[in-house]
Amino acid sequence: MVTDRERAAFEAGIKLGALYHQWVGAPVSVATAETLEKAIEASVGLQPAVEKVRVRLDRDLMSPNTFGYSEVAGLMYDVELVTRVGKARCTATLSRYEDYPLMSLVACDEAPSHPPHR
């Protein structure tokens, strides 16, 4: 039997992998980066088990081509993602580690249940 914690960890990994591969190569510029960050957050946030997602793209790595824009590259990502399955919550990241876009599972724990409102 798969636990909620294992499922939350799996969902975090799947979401980061999909995010990475879906958006690499997308046209971007310093002027449009914030809009693209919000679009990625909104898209990923629609998926099951996603509690929170924050996306930042490293503008210092955006070198305009002949036509004035760059393309999203793996090293540009700085992402934090939180998934929840049942009471289990996992936090995962996608960020630059030296010259590699590294996905990491940062924490997995049982979330405290919320007290009833009075």
Mind listing the pLDDT tens digit for each residue in 58-72? 999 999 999 999 999
* Structural domain includes residue 38: yes
In the structure encoding, which two tokens stand for residue 101, read together?
């876009």
Question: Among 91, 64, 59, which Cα is nearest to 77's?
Answer: 59
Q: Are 12 and 92 in contact (CB under 8 A)?
A: yes
pLDDT of residue 110: 84
Domain of residue 54, CATH code: 3.30.1300.20
Confidence at residue 40, expressed as pLDDT on a 0 to 100 scale? 98
Two tokens, residue 79: 């992402």
Mean pLDDT, range 79-104, rounded to an integer: 97
**Residue 118 placed within a domain:** no
Bridge partners (DSSP) of residue 81 are: 53, 92
**Residue 46 belongs to what domain range?**
4-110
| Domains contained in the chain, number | 1
| Distance (Å, whole) CA 71 – CA 28 | 5
Per-residue pLDDT tens over the stretch 20-32: 999 999 999 999 9
Q: Is the pTM of this model over 0.95?
A: no
In a domain, 49, yes or no: yes
Top pLDDT among 97 and 114 is at 97
Q: Residue 31 — φ and ψ, nearest 5°? A: -70, -25
Q: How far apart, in whole angstroms, are the C-alpha atoms of residue 33 and residue 29? A: 6
